[in-house]
């Protein structure tokens, strides 16, 4: 047995939830027979891929309970809002959407409205829901997703509102049904939680300590996805580089990747997110040797100033960060490297910020996700006195974008007149006359196509490389 420390939720607990699922399904089937239509469930998701993956489990359970999934909240019997807490803006968006559901409840008081996820894994937000959103039926945190069926039963039987406490142990729940939103790209969580406590970040407080799934569990999920025809599988974790350490496994993330890479088929493996403090040469060597592992590294740098990195508790210097990048480009020339950058961290001086701009020039990222620092209650940075004004933050943010946009353009230009392999996602949402897809490095490509191309790898001749996308034509 690989699992030295048992971090998996007991099978008895999962069986209990399946009993609730059966009971609800029976009732929903009777409703459907009597009314000639199924009860519907609507799941709204905010935030990162981990939340998307959690919502696919919520949808999977809802379907197993006999609900029909719908893309509209109006008319749904069950509404679940899966929230994010990473920045203030994400919380405000979720609260505003929850606010809009008041009229749904007043039209049909039988509608069950539940709020879950990172925002409501914080006590002050639970209190806010309790007092200011009285039509919300129940609230459950990130450790309790598997308890949705039980909470629905409790709510309908007791008529009392429920504020589900966090589980004392954050455990890995295996076997929850998953309803995937896409037939081509899939998420697979390899670990949950974070132990790093970067001083600005709420994640370790709302997602608990790190716990890794066993390689057998991950392997069989990925194998099944490849068999079903999924072409792009992204392994998820807040910090995949520490995979296995929490549970005392005698294999690490590189070993897991190498094992998954043995699965036969035409597919790509991506992963996110890596922490630079423990990105190893072994991992990079494994990627370089992989047959299916995309040559794409997302490695959040956050800042270019050593002092800012120190106060952020990132536990690496810029020099160390660059040494990893250099090793990646040495082993995988042409690899796409992307990053997360934050501006306006408390105490960030103009000089510190200029270090970040210089770092961008040195790193030559293909693309960055850029963020304005947002104070999160309960984190060390929130209480630091030297907070940066909004005006300075947004001025720096604009300069950051300007610098990176020029770099992104310069990285995309040389792809002109080259043929790249693209996984086709189908018609573009914004312009259904063109098709869109992504390269191995996750660059967006627009091209002429036809509906039968969806879900296929295509060769696209790039005619124009722009800042945010590539434009081309299918090689016939």
Q: Is 340 in the site for ligand 5AD (CB under 6 A)?
A: yes
Of positions 302, 338, 436, 442, contacts ligand 5AD by CB under 6 A: 302
Examine residue 435 and tell whether it contacts ligand 5AD (CB under 6 A).
no
Which of 196, 234 has the CB closer to ligand SF4? 196
Q: How far is the CB of 342 from ligand 5AD (least distance, A)?
A: 5
Task: Based on the shown chain and the rule CB under 6 A, indicate whether residue 196 belongs to the binding site for ligand SF4.
Answer: yes
Q: Which is nearer to ligand 5AD, 94 or 462 (CB)?
A: 94
* Residue 197 contacts ligand SF4 per CB under 6 A: yes
The rounded distance, in Å, linking the Cα atoms of 184 and 230 is 5
Of 82, 142, 238, 241, the one binding ligand SF4 by CB under 6 A: 238
Contact status: 53 vs ligand SF4 (CB under 6 A): no
Task: Show the binding pattern over residues 202-221: x = contacts ligand SF4 (CB under 6 A), - = does not.
Answer: -xx-----------------
The two structure tokens encoding residue 219: 């392997």
Q: Which two tokens stand for residue 91?
A: 């919380």
Pick what 196 binds: ligand 5AD, ligand SF4, none; C-beta below 5 to 8 Å, kind-dependent.
Answer: ligand SF4
Q: Which two tokens stand for residue 363?
A: 């790193």
Query: What angle is formed at CA 124 by the lines to CA 99 and CA 129, rounded to 5 degrees?
Result: 25
For the chain, the first-to-last Cα distance in angstroms comes to 51
Closest C-alpha among 266, 272, 260, 288 to residue 234:
272
What residues form DSSP beta bridges with 81?
A: 44, 115
Q: Kindly state the DSSP code that residue 377 receives in the 8-state scheme.
A: T
Nearest-angstrom CA–CA distance, 75 and 73? 6
The window from 198-206, 345-353, 422-430, 439-447 that contacts ligand SF4 (CB under 6 A) reads 198-206
Q: Which of positions 76-115 make contact with ligand 5AD (CB under 6 A)?
A: 86-87
Task: Give which of 79, 85, 94, 88 is closest to 48, Cα–Cα.
Answer: 85
- Decide: is 376 part of the binding site for ligand 5AD (CB under 6 A): yes
Q: How many C-beta atoms surround the C-beta of residue 418 within 10 A?
A: 12
How big is the site for ligand SF4, counted in residues (CB under 6 A)? Answer: 10
Considering CB distances under 5 to 8 angstroms, the limit depending on partner class, which of ligand 5AD, ligand SF4, none binds residue 17?
A: none
Question: What's the closest the beta carbon of residue 86 comes to ligand 5AD, in angstroms?
Answer: 5
Q: Concatenated DSSP letters for 90-159? A: HHHHHHHHHHHTHHHHHH-TT-EEEEEESGGGSHHHHHHHHHH-TT--EEE-GGGGGGHHHHHHHHHHH-
For the packed helices 390-412 and 350-363, what is the interaxial angle rounded to 10 degrees?
Answer: 10
| Shortest distance in whole angstroms from residue 46 CB to ligand 5AD | 13
Tokens representing 176 are: 């929850």
Nearer to ligand SF4, 234 or 238 (CB): 238
Stretch that binds ligand 5AD, among 173-181, 224-232, 351-359, 367-375 (CB under 6 A): 367-375
Q: Which residues contact 32 (CB under 8 A, 6 or more apart)?
A: 38, 39, 66
Among 198, 363, 400, 462, binds ligand SF4 (CB under 6 A): 198
Q: Which two tokens stand for residue 337?
A: 């490297």
The C-alpha angle with vertex 86 and arms to 85 and 92, in degrees rounded to 5, equals 50
- We find the least distance from the C-beta atom of residue 74 to ligand 5AD, in angstroms, to be 32
Q: Give me the half-sphere count of Cα atoms (radius 13 Å) on the Cβ side of residue 55.
A: 26
Residues that bind ligand SF4 (CB under 6 A): 194, 196-198, 201, 203-204, 238-239, 275
Residues that bind ligand 5AD (CB under 6 A): 86-87, 200-201, 300, 302, 340, 342, 371, 373-374, 376
């Amino acid at each position: 047995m690989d699992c030295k420390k048992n971090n998996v939720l007991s099978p008895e607990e999962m069986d209990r939830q399946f009993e609730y699922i059966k009971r609800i399904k029976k009732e929903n089937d009777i409703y459907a027979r009597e009314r000639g239509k199924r009860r519907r469930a609507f799941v709204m998701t905010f935030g990162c891929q981990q939340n998307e993956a959690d919502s696919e489990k919520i949808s999977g359970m809802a379907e197993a309970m006999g609900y029909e999934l719908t893309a509209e909240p109006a008319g749904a019997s069950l509404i679940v809002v899966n929230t994010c807490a990473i920045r203030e803006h994400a919380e405000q968006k979720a609260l505003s959407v929850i606010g809009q559901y008041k009229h749904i409840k007043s039209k049909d008081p039988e509608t069950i409205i539940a709020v879950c996820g990172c925002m409501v894994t914080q006590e002050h937000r639970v209190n806010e829901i309790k007092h200011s959103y009285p039509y919300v039926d129940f609230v459950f945190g990130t450790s309790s997703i598997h308890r949705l069926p039980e909470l629905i039963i409790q709510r309908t039987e007791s008529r009392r509102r429920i504020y589900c406490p966090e589980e004392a142990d954050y455990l890995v729940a295996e076997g929850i049904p998953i309803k995937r939103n896409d037939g081509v790209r899939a998420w697979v969580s390899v670990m949950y939680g974070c132990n790093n406590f970067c001083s600005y970040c709420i994640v370790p407080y709302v997602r608990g300590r790190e716990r890794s799934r066993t390689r057998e569990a991950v392997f069989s999920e990925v194998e099944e996805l490849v068999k079903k025809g999924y072409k792009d599988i992204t392994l998820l974790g807040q910090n995949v580089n520490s995979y296995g350490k929490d549970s005392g496994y005698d294999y690490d993330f590189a070993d897991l990747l190498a094992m998954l890479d043995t699965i036969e088929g035409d597919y790509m493996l991506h992963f996110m997110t890596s922490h630079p403090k423990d990105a190893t040469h072994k991992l990079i060597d494994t990627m370089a040797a992989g047959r299916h592992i995309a040559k794409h590294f997302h490695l959040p740098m956050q800042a270019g100033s050593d002092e800012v990195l120190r106060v952020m508790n990132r536990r690496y210097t810029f020099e160390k960060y660059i040494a990893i990048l250099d090793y990646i480009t040495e082993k995988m020339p042409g690899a796409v490297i992307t990053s997360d950058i934050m501006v306006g961290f408390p105490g960030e001086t103009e000089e510190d910020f200029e270090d970040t701009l210089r770092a961008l020039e040195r790193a030559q990222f293909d693309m960055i996700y850029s963020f304005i620092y947002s104070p999160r209650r309960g984190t060390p940075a929130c209480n630091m006195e030297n907070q940066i004004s909004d005006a300075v933050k947004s001025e720096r943010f604009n300069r950051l974008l300007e610098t990176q946009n020029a770099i992104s353009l310069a990285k995309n230009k040389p792809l002109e007149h080259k043929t790249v392999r693209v996984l086709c996602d189908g018609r573009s949402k914004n312009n259904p006359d063109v098709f869109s897809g992504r390269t191995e490095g996750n660059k967006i490509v627009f091209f002429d196509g036809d509906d039968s191309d969806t879900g296929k790898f295509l060769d696209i001749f790039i005619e124009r490389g722009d800042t945010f996308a590539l434009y081309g034509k299918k090689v016939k």
